[in-house]
C-alpha cells in the first residue's frame, strides 16, 4: 500500500518520542466560481482581471465567469470586450456572456459620486442572481462575487475562505463623495459594510467610532450589510440567499433599494449571519479621476509578503482551544508582539511560517482573568493564516492621524472640525 506524504508522516510520528502534533490537512480541492457583472473601461478591467486571476489560494480551483452589462451607447465597451476575450482565451476555466438589455440611462459617473436609478439596481440584482444560479447548478463549493472595480491583494480570497463562515465580504474603504479640487469640504471615507440599513455604521453594540476602529484594526466582524467583494459558501446559496427584492422591511433612504440591501435582509431572514473581513488590502477604483493610479495599486497589492513574520508585522491567526470543543475558534489580527494573546501563543507564532500550524500548551497563571482557567493548562491549535508588513488599509489611511514614532492612531472622523484643524496644525508644527 502506498501512503500519502501526510499518512506517512502520521505513521512515523507514532514512534516519535517528541511528536509535533497537528491535524492532518484535508485533501479536498474546492471549486470556486469567481464572478462579476462588468461595465467598466479596460483601464479598470486590467488591474481587476490581473488581481483576481493571481489569487494565491490553498487547495482550490478557480473558475471565472463574467457577465457584461454594457449599453449600446457605452464607448468603452469594445476595448473592454477585447480585454475580456483575451483574458478568457489566456486563462483556463474562464468564460463571459453579454447582457444586452441595458438602455444606458439609469447609471452614471458624476464629478463627485455615482448615480443609480432603481432600474439599475434591479438589473444588477437579476444579473447577480444568474451568477448565483450558475454556482448552484454547476455544483461549485463557493461563489466569489466581486465588483469589477474592486482591486484586491493576492491573498484576499484565501483570507475570505479562512473565515469559515457562510457569507463574508472583504472590506475596502471609499470616499463615496469625492471632494472637488476647489472644495474645502471634509469628506470621510466609508467601508462597504454596515450595521443598519441603508448605510448606518452604528448599532448592534457599536458606536460608529468603535465600528470604524475595529475595521481599521483589520478584525473579522459580524455585520448586517455588505457587498461587492463577497464570498458565498455553497450552503448559503443552497439555503436560498439571493439579490431578489424583499417585499417589505427595508428602511427608506439613499441606496435603500440597492440590491445588496435586499441580499443582506434575505440573509438575515434565513438566519445566515454576514461577516466583514478587514484583513485584505483592497482598493476601490471608484472615481474616474483616480483610474490612472490603477497600476500603482496593482503593484502595491501584489508585493511579496514575509514568509515568517517579524516583530511588528501584521499577522492573521486562527486559535482554537482543543480542550473546549464547544468553543468557537478566534480569529485574531494585529501586529506580532502586540497581539494581545497569551505569551505561549505569541511566541509560537513568531516561529511559524505563513499557513503553518501547531499545537501549543498554554499554562494559565494564578491571576488569569478567567477564574476557571487559573493554574490549569490547555492545548491550543494555532494557525498562522497570513502575514504582511505593517500598513494601514488603503484609502482610510488618508484620514488617520498616525504617530510617527509609535504608530498610535486617531481617526479624524471622531474629532470635531475645529479639533481636526488644530490637530493637523499641531502635527505640522511637530
Q: Is 327 in the site for another protein (CB under 8 A)?
A: yes
Taking Cα atoms as reference points, which of 286, 300, 385 lies closest to residue 50?
300
Q: Is 96 in the site for another protein (CB under 8 A)?
A: no
Closest distance of CB 219 from another protein, Å: 11
If binding is defined by CB under 8 A, does position 72 make contact with another protein? Answer: no
Q: Is 352 in the site for another protein (CB under 8 A)?
A: no
Give the separation between CA 154 and CA 385, rounded to whole angstroms: 14
Q: In what helix (H) or strand (E) does residue 66 lie, and over which residues does it extend?
A: strand 60-68
CA 379 to the chain's CA centroid: 30
Q: Which of 96, 116, 291, 368 binds another protein (CB under 8 A)?
A: 368
How many CA within 13 A on the CB side of residue 152?
Answer: 30
- Cell numbers at 366, concatenated: 494564578
- Residue found under cell 435586499: 262
What's the min distance (Å) between Cβ of 286 and another protein?
Answer: 33
Which residue carries 480551483 as its cell?
61
Interaction between residue 342 and another protein (CB under 8 A)? yes
* Grid cell for residue 256: 435603500
Specify the DSSP class assigned to residue 28: P
CB of 190 to another protein, least distance (A): 23
Q: Is 351 in the site for another protein (CB under 8 A)?
A: no
Query: Shortest gap between Cβ of 345 and another protein (angstroms)?
Result: 5
Q: How far apart are CB 264 and another protein at their closest, in Å?
A: 21
Q: How far apart are CA 287 and CA 46, in angstroms?
A: 16
Among 98, 330, 353, 419, interactor with another protein by CB under 8 A: 330
Options 282, 341, 387, 412; binder of another protein; rule CB under 8 A: 341
Single residue of 340, 375, 429, 430 touching another protein by CB under 8 A: 340
Among 130, 321, 397, 414, binds another protein (CB under 8 A): 321
CA angle 309, 349, 214 (to 5 degrees): 80
Rounded Cα distance between 397 and 412, Å, is 10
Cα(102)–Cα(268) distance, integer angstroms: 30
Residue span 156-195 as binding mask against another protein, x where in contact by CB under 8 A, dash where not: ----------------------------------------
Which residue, 8 or 204, is less far from another protein as judged by CB? 204
Residues interacting with another protein, by CB under 8 A? 205, 319-321, 324, 327-330, 332, 340-342, 344-345, 362, 368-370, 373, 380
Amino acid at each position: 500500500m502506498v501512503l500519502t506524504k501526510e499518512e506517512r508522516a502520521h505513521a512515523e510520528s507514532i514512534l516519535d518520542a517528541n511528536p509535533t502534533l497537528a491535524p492532518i490537512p484535508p485533501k479536498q480541492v474546492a471549486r470556486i466560481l469567481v464572478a462579476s457583472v462588468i461595465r467598466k473601461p479596460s483601464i479598470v478591467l486590467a488591474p481587476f482581471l490581473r488581481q483576481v486571476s493571481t489569487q494565491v489560494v490553498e487547495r482550490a480551483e478557480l473558475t471565472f465567469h463574467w457577465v457584461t452589462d454594457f449599453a449600446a451607447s457605452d464607448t468603452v465597451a469594445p476595448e473592454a470586450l477585447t480585454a475580456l476575450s483575451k483574458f478568457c482565451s489566456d486563462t483556463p476555466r474562464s468564460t463571459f456572456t453579454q447582457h444586452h438589455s441595458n438602455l444606458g440611462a439609469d447609471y452614471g459617473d458624476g464629478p463627485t459620486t455615482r448615480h443609480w436609478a432603481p432600474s439599475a439596481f434591479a438589473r444588477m440584482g437579476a444579473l447577480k442572481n444568474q451568477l448565483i444560479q450558475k454556482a448552484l447548478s454547476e455544483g461549485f463549493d463557493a461563489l466569489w462575487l466581486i465588483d469589477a472595480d474592486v482591486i484586491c491583494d493576492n491573498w484576499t480570497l484565501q483570507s475570505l475562505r479562512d473565515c469559515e463562515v457562510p457569507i463574508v465580504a472583504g472590506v475596502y474603504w471609499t470616499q463615496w463623495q469625492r471632494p472637488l479640487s476647489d472644495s474645502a469640504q471634509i469628506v470621510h471615507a466609508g467601508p462597504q459594510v454596515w450595521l443598519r440599513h441603508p448605510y448606518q455604521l452604528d448599532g448592534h453594540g457599536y458606536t460608529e467610532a468603535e465600528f470604524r476602529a475595529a475595521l481599521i484594526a483589520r478584525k473579522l466582524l459580524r455585520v448586517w450589510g455588505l457587498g461587492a467583494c463577497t464570498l458565498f459558501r455553497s450552503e448559503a446559496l443552497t439555503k436560498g440567499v439571493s439579490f431578489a427584492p424583499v417585499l417589505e422591511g427595508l428602511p427608506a433612504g439613499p441606496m435603500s433599494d440597492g440590491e445588496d440591501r435586499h441580499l443582506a435582509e434575505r440573509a438575515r431572514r434565513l438566519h445566515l449571519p454576514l461577516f466583514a473581513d478587514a484583513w485584505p488590502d483592497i482598493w476601490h477604483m471608484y472615481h474616474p479621476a483616480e483610474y490612472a493610479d490603477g497600476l500603482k495599486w496593482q503593484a502595491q497589492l501584489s508585493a511579496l509578503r514575509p514568509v515568517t513574520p517579524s516583530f511588528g508585522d501584521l499577522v492573521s491567526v486562527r486559535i482554537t482551544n482543543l480542550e473546549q470543543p464547544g468553543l468557537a475558534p478566534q480569529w485574531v489580527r494585529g501586529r506580532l508582539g502586540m497581539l494581545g494573546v497569551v505569551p505561549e501563543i505569541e511566541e509560537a507564532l513568531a516561529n511559524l511560517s505563513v499557513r503553518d500550524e501547531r499545537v501549543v500548551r498554554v499554562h494559565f497563571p494564578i491571576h488569569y482573568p478567567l477564574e476557571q482557567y487559573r493554574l490549569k493548562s490547555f492545548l491550543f491549535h494555532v494557525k498562522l493564516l497570513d502575514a504582511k508588513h505593517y500598513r494601514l488599509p488603503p484609502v482610510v489611511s488618508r484620514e488617520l492621524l498616525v504617530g510617527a514614532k509609535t504608530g498610535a492612531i486617531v481617526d479624524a472622523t471622531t474629532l470635531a472640525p475645529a479639533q481636526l484643524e488644530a490637530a493637523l496644525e499641531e502635527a505640522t508644527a511637530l
